[in-house]
């Protein structure tokens, strides 16, 4: 019980401190509709890679690079270390679950996706992914990226390195790498509740392509997508 109070207390404190009151109010609304399903607001972000990308300087002890398939076990594990915020986790994993995550990460690399890491010495302290071609379904609908377009996703910074703008450094590095490989456009997606992701995206040159509201019925993969502003493709198939 005490540990639950500590866990939710620290989540609340972080929400107020880093996300702001609007996000907190949205979280409350989501909680109210939660018996019926989940309500999500997403911003689809777009970056024109034909323009200059400003890559901010990394902290001196940090190296940014692409990861190798044989490093996936240590890369995937950083999200589950003992110091990481458990309340933030999408799921917990046992050894078999961890092996499955590593296998998935390797298979993503086998089809050409790139994992970019920031390392402090031999410690991996951040990972992000650049994905190409066909992505896993979003709300049970397949996603096919057009030629020379890519998707930046799944950023994670270990807790002790948060607040040092590694997310900006790695994201800008990834966009520069995509540009070098001939890609002309990058997408990213930020849940409205992830204010830090939206701020990072703005700083490295993304703009909002569109905003959507998603209602996912309880226990279902699919959902209703309403386009609030701009364009929802290629990630979402909106009702309008």
Task: Round to whole Å and give the CA distance between 40 and 143.
Answer: 19
According to DSSP, the residues that pair with 40 across neighbouring strands are: 214
Is-contact 110 103, C-beta < 8 A? no
Q: Given candidates 30, 106, 181, 199, which one binds ligand COA under the rule CB under 6 A?
A: 199
Is-contact 176 196, C-beta < 8 A? no
Q: Given candidates 49, 131, 157, 177, which one binds ligand COA under the rule CB under 6 A?
A: 157
23 binds ligand COA (CB under 6 A): no
Helix/strand/coil percentages in the chain, nearest 5: 40, 30, 30
CB of residue 15 to ligand COA, shortest distance in Å: 10
185 binds ligand COA (CB under 6 A): no
165 binds ligand COA (CB under 6 A): yes
Q: Given candidates 27, 30, 106, 164, which one binds ligand COA under the rule CB under 6 A?
A: 164
In the bound state with ligand COA, the residue whose beta carbon lies nearer, of 92 and 147, is 92
Is-contact 151 135, C-beta < 8 A? yes
Edge-first strand order for the sheet with 62-66 is 62-66, 114-120, 123-132, 149-157, 185-191, 37-48, 207-217, 224-230
CB of residue 240 to ligand COA, shortest distance in Å: 26
Please report, for residues 27, 120, 193, 209, the alpha-carbon distance to residue 15 in angstroms, rounded to integers and kept in the order given.
9, 28, 9, 25
Range 51-110, binding ligand COA (CB under 6 A): 88
200 binds ligand COA (CB under 6 A): yes
Binding mask 108-147 for ligand COA (x = CB under 6 A): ----------------------------------------
Give the binding site for ligand COA (CB under 6 A).
Answer: 14, 18, 88, 155-157, 162-168, 190, 194, 196-197, 199-200
């Amino acid at each position: 019980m005490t540990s639950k109070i500590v866990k939710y207390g620290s989540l609340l404190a972080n929400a107020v401190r880093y996300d702001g009151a609007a996000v907190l109010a949205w979280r409350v609304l989501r909680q109210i509709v939660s018996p019926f399903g989940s309500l999500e607001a997403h911003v689809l972000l777009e970056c024109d890679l034909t323009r200059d990308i400003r890559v901010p300087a990394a902290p001196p002890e940090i190296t940014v690079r692409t990861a190798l398939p044989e490093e996936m076990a240590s890369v995937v594990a950083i999200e589950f270390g003992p110091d990481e915020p458990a309340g933030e986790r999408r799921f917990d994993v046992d050894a078999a679950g961890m092996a499955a995550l590593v296998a998935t990460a390797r298979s993503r690399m086998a089809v050409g996706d790139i994992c970019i890491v920031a390392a402090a010495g031999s410690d991996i302290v951040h990972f992000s992914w650049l994905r190409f071609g066909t992505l896993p379904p979003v709300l049970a609908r397949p996603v096919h990226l057009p030629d020379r377009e890519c998707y930046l996703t799944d950023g994670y910074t270990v807790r002790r390195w948060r607040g040092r703008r590694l997310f900006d450094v790695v994201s800008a590095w990834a966009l520069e790498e995509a540009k070098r490989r001939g890609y002309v456009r990058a997408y990213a997606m930020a849940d409205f509740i992830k204010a830090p992701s939206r701020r990072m995206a703005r700083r490295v040159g993304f703009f909002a392509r569109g905003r959507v509201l998603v209602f996912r019925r309880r226990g279902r993969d699919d959902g209703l997508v309403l386009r609030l502003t701009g364009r929802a493709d290629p990630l979402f198939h909106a009702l309008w």
